[in-house]
Structure 1
């Protein structure tokens, strides 16, 4: 929830605040600093996601030889596969957003307005895409923890 809440806070609080005309000269610097700070926290959270998800599967006995096939072919198993797939997409998308489009946006902000605008739009798209994927993962996790499957 820290991840999803942080992303929602960023979208509904930080972005509108930096669009304030009084911050015109500082808005890109504020965006860069807050994005860099959130990025640092995000990759720690990714590690927690991986460790806690794997730990829960082990604790529930899903990695025991007798139950592996049963889990991965059940409705809940399909939910886990969906979550793992979405998490992989989210992780790769975040890497691209955080280390390619985001930095290039700030690189071109003063030197090339066409590239700046292209990377800004791409970064914005990937930020929204990551939020959508994150919320979907959270919903699937809540459903799976209640024993409900959409499959």
Structure 2
């Protein structure tokens, strides 16, 4: 892998931690302030969550099509082989699909945050989308030991 690929993989890996932290903060805020309107800080955190998620998605799409894992498995081995092997299927299908779904949910939170609805209804919707996104992301992360030697923190 080249220097650019290593840098993108490093950023992609570290941005997931920012996303997980911002999701946890969003969940906490929605629970703790269920009856209160969103504060300007909560709105900014929501925006930063969406920005981090979209940057991570763009990096991930580049890695998927031009990196050593992902679409290259379909090109070199064929769909039947990829779908039969859990590790290949994870990198070629499950990881990207799960993350796209989670990022769609995160993007929807931005629209919910802007809506003029009762604070409790808004916070319940945000909470639902945050929790669903978190569950999908946790299921789609290549945790160490799951499919080879994937570190928790790249570059450390």
TM-score of the aligned structures, taking structure 1 as reference length: 0.61
Does structure 1 residue 72 correspond to structure 2 residue 82? yes
- Following TM superposition, by how much is the alpha carbon of 1:68 offset from its aligned partner in structure 2, in angstroms? 4.9
Gaps in structure 2 of 5+ consecutive residues? 1-16, 151-156
Aligned-pair Cα RMSD in Å: 3.4
Superposition deviation, residue 79 in structure 1:
0.9
Find out whether 1:39 has 2:47 as its counterpart: yes
Aligned to 2:22: 6
| Residues 102 and 133, structure 2, Cα contact 8 Å, conserved in 1 | yes
Q: Distance in 1 between matches of 2:30 and 2:133?
A: 16
- TM-score, normalised via structure 2 length: 0.60
Equivalent residue, structure 2, for 1:97: 109
Distance 1:16 1:119 in 2: 11
Distance 1:135 1:64 in 2: 23
Preserved contact between residue 97 and residue 126 of structure 1 (Cα < 8 Å): yes
Is 1:108 the counterpart of 2:121 in the alignment?
A: no
Moved over 4 A (4+): 14-19
Gap change, CA 1:43 and 1:72, over 3 Å in 2:
farther
Distance 1:53 1:144 in 2: 20
Bigger Cα displacement from structure 2, 82-91 vs 47-56:
47-56
- Give 1:3 deviation, angstroms: 0.7
- Structure 1: any 5+ residue segments left out of the alignment? 110-115
Partner of 1:113: none
Aligned counterparts of 2:38 and 2:117: Cα–Cα separation in 1: 13
CA distance in 1, matches of 2:87, 2:32: 41
Structure number, greater radius of gyration:
1
Counterpart for residue 126 of structure 2:
123
Give the secondary structure class of the aligned counterpart of 1:136: helix
> 1:16 offset after TM fit, Å?
6.4
Pairs aligned (count): 129
Residue 86 of structure 1 pairs with residue 73 of structure 2: no
